[in-house]
Chain A
Amino acid sequence: MSNIEHDEAAIVIIGSGAGGGTLAYELTAKGLPVVVLEAGPYLRNEDYVNDEWEAFNQMAWLDPRTTSGSWRIARDFPNLPAWIVKAVGGTTTHWSGATPRFKAHEFAARSTYGRIDGANLLDWPITLVELAPYYDKAEVAMGSTHVHGRKPLPANNNYTVFANGAERLGYKFYSTGPYATNAEEYDGRPASIQDGFNFQGDKNKSKWSTLVREIPRAEATGLLDLRPESHAVQITHDASGRADAVLYLDKDGNLQRQAARLVAVAANSIETPRLLLQSASPMFPDGLANSSGQVGRNYMRHTTGSLYARFKDPVRMHRGETMAGVIADESRHDPDRGFAGGYFLETISLGPAFLASFSDPGAWGRGFTEILEAYANTAGLWIVGEDLPQESNRVTLNTTLSDKNGLPVPNVHFDDHTNDIAMREHGYAQAELLYEAVGSVGAQRTPPYPSTHNMGTSRMSARSEDGVVDKWGRAHDVPNLFISDGSVFTTSAAANPTLTIVALAIRQAEYIADQLKTGGI
C-alpha cells in the first residue's frame, strides 16, 4: 500500500463504500494514486458474526443522528434514521445484492410524470443510453446474476413461496435476480453457500462488496493510501474557491490535514451533505457547493414496506440468500394505480431478533407474539419503489447536539408524499394477494425500516440553480469537488440504488482521469 504525504496535493476520496470504493479502484487502475479516508474500521470477512444484533453493533453507523417530520421512523427509531455501515467497504458489506437497472423514463421523471404538487421533480441530466455501457461494466464487476452469462441463483424456500404466488397472481417478470452474489465461482470468489447472513457481512465472500473486490484490487496497484478510522470533518478551499485540503480526525481523535488537488465525497446521503454544510466558509456561507440551496434537500429513501405472511406449513425463510427474488411487474409507470412511478417486490428475511424489533414497532400482546410464534412458517417480501423528491425532506446540522468529536449531528427531516403512501398501500395489497394465492393464513404489514437506501441530497442537474452537481457528479460551484455516491440521484427511480451508484462511479472515474490529463480540472 502506498503512503502519500499529508502535504502532497492528492486525490482524496471520502468514504469507501459503493461509490468511494469503486472510484478508488477505477482511478488507481488508471495509474492515479489516491488517498481514501474512511471513518470506520477495517473489518474483514473473518471478523463478521452470524448474529443480527452483534453484527449490527459491529458494522453499523451508530454516531448519533436526530429525526423530525411525520415519518414513523421519527417515533420508532428517533436516533436511527438510516441503516448504514461505518467500516471499510461501507454499506456494501451490509447490503443484500439486488441490482435492477433504472428504466429510461426514470431519468426523465419530471417530463414523464408531469407536475406533482409538493414534489421537486427534475429530469436527470443524463439518459439511460448514456449510462447503459456503464451499467454493463458495473454488472460485470459486481457479478450480477441473470446477465452477462451469470447463472441465476437457485430458488430457496422463501423464493418458492414468492414466485408461486407471483405466477398465480399473473405476474410474469419474476426471477431470483439480478443479484450480485455468485451462484457459481466467479471473479476469484466462491459460490454462495446460502447461509442466510448476507445482511451480516457474508463471511463466505460470495456477495460482491467493495471490501472483497475494489479495495483489495486498488491496494494491489500499490497506489492506494487507505486510512481507516479517519473521519473527514471539513473540506477547505483556497482564495479562488477550489478545494485544497480535507481536515479529518484520525483514530486517536487528532485533527489531520491532507492536502488535495481533487476531492470526491462518497460518504452516503446523510454524511455527504453534512460534510458540505460543515465546510461552510465566508466564501460559501450556506455550505460548500451550495449556491443552489439544494445541499441536504430532496432526501429520498425509496417507498418501502414489508409483508410477512404466515402459512400452515414450514417455509424457513432464514435459510438462504436474503433477497434473491425480484418481481418487476409493478415497476412500470401506470397512474391508473393512483400514483406516479413504480415499485419492485423482492424477497426478504429477518431472524427473530430483527423481526421482533422491526415487524410492528410499538406492538405487544398476543397480536405481536403471534408474528414470532409463526416464525418457521413465515415468508417475507419487501416493497421498493420510487419516492418523490421534496425540498423539505432534508438533512440539516442540528447545532443543539454534538457527537463525541464535538461536531453538530445531522438531523433528517422526512414526510411521506401522498404518492409514496398510495404506492405503499398498493404494494401491501398486492403482496397480500400474492401470498393469499398460495394459501397464507395471515399477514403483517411492516412499516419501512430505518432507511437502507439514501439518496438525493446533492442532486445532479443540468442547470446550477437546480442542483449541486453536473452530469459527471462535479460540483457546479467548485471545479475540483466531486460527489460520488447516491446523493447525486436527481430522482430515486424504483430500482435499488447500488448498481446505479457503481455505474456512475465508473463513468465518473473515466471523466476525472480524462480531465486530469487534459487539464480540465
Chain B
Amino acid sequence: MAFPAKYPQMNATELTDEARSVLIRVIRVAFPHPSFPDAPYERTADTILREAENSTWFRVALTQGLLTLGHLAGGDFRDLNDEDGTKVLRRIETTEFFGFIRRTTVLNLYDNEDVWEILGYEGPSFDKGGYINRGFNDLDWLPEARTETYDGPEQLIEIATNASVAKIRGGENTPAIERDTSNQPGKRDATMMEMTK
C-alpha cells in the first residue's frame, strides 16, 4: 500500500536506476583502470548508494549532483569520453557531492579481492604459510643484498664536524592547501562519533 507522498516533489530524491548508471560512469571516469571489469565499479556504486540511504545530507547531495551533472556535461554525462568526463569532474572536485563519491570509492574500490588479483596483490597469506616458501625473496633483477650490519672500515659519524657553525631556520609554517583531501570515511565535521569504514 502506498499513500500519495505529502510532498510529491520529494520523490525526486529517490535515486533511480538511471542515477545509478551515471554514478557508475562517474566512478570509472574518476578512477580509470582499463583492466577492471564493470563489477568492481558497480559494487562501489552500490556501496555509495547504501551509505547515502543512511545520511540525509549525502542523499540530497548525491541526488542533486547526479541530476545536475548533465547540465555541466551539456547532455548526458554517460555520453562523454574519458577526457571530457574528467574535465567535468575537475570542475566539481571540491563539491560535497564529488568528495563523498571520491572518499567512499577510495575506501571501497580497492578493498576487495575482485581487484586485488588484477593489481597483483595476493590477499590473506597466513593460512597459506606466509611467503616464506612462496616467493618472499624471488626478485631476480637485482643482485642479492647484504642483510647483516655493515662491518667495514667506516664509522657512522653521529655529529658532523661543521655542526657548530650551522644556521637553522625556524618559526613560520607552511600555508594549508584548500583542496578537500579528506580520506576519512563519513562526515568531515566534528560530530562524527565513530570512525568506521
The chain A residues found within 8 Å of chain B, CB to CB, are: 49-53, 56-57, 60, 62, 64, 66, 70, 72, 74-80, 103-105, 112-114, 116-119, 146, 152-157, 159-164, 167, 172-176, 192-197, 203-204, 313-316, 318-320, 328-329, 331-336, 338-340, 351-353, 355-358, 361-366, 368-369, 372-373, 375-377, 388, 398, 400-401, 403-404, 415-419, 421-422, 438
* Whole-angstrom CA separation of A236 from B126 in the bound complex: 46
User: Is the beta-carbon distance between B126 and A203 smaller than 8 angstroms?
Assistant: yes
A156 to B122 Cα, complex, angstroms: 16
Q: With A57-B196, A204-B130, A361-B183 known to touch, is A318 a contact of B121 (CB < 8 Å)?
A: yes
Q: Which residues of B contact A161 (CB under 8 A)?
A: 139, 142
Min distance, Cβ B35 to any Cβ of chain A, angstroms: 8
Chain A nearest Cβ from B138, distance in angstroms? 7
A190 to B159, CA, bound (A): 39
The answer to whether B168 has its CB under 8 Å from any CB of chain A is yes
Please list the residues of chain B having a beta carbon within 8 angstroms of any beta carbon in chain A: 30-33, 35, 86, 89-90, 93, 102, 105-107, 109-111, 115-116, 119-127, 129-132, 134-139, 141-150, 152, 154, 156-160, 162-163, 165-177, 179-184, 188, 190-197
CB-based contact A368/B184 at 8 Å: no
The docked-state distance in angstroms from the alpha carbon of A424 to that of B183 is 22
Say whether, besides A57-B196, A157-B137, A157-B138, A175 and B148 are in contact (CB < 8 Å). yes
| Chain B residue contacts of A119, Cβ below 8 A | 170
What residues of A have a CB within 8 angstroms of the CB of B89 in the complex? 364-365
CB pair A172 B192 closer than 8 Å? no
Contact A364 B102 (CB under 8 A): yes
Q: A62-B195, A369-B33 are in contact. List 14 more A-B contacts (CB 8 A).
A: A77-B182, A103-B158, A114-B166, A146-B149, A155-B144, A157-B138, A196-B125, A196-B130, A203-B126, A315-B139, A319-B122, A334-B159, A364-B89, A417-B170
B23 CB, min distance to chain A CBs, angstroms = 15
Which residues of chain B have C-beta atoms less than 8 A from A401's C-beta? 190-191
B183 and A416 contact, CB distance less than 8 A = no
Q: Looking across the interface, which residue of chain A has its beta carbon closest to that of B197?
A: A53
Q: Which of B106, B138, B144, B157 is close to A356, meaning CB atoms less than 8 Å apart?
A: B106
**A interface, by DSSP: helix, strand, loop or mixed?**
loop
B interface majority secondary structure: loop
**Contact indicator B163/A372 (Cβ below 8 Å):** no
Among candidates B115, B119, B129, B193, residue contacting A376 with C-beta atoms closer than 8 Å: B119
Given the complex, which residues of B lie within 8 Å of A422, measured CB to CB? Answer: 169
Q: Is the CB of B106 within 8 A of A76?
A: no
Say whether A193 contacts B130, CB under 8 Å: yes
Complex interface: chain A residues within 8 A of B137 (CB): 154-157, 160, 320
The 5 tightest CB contacts between A and B, nearest first, are A362-B181, A335-B166, A376-B120, A193-B130, A117-B170
CA distance A114 to B164 in the complex (A): 8
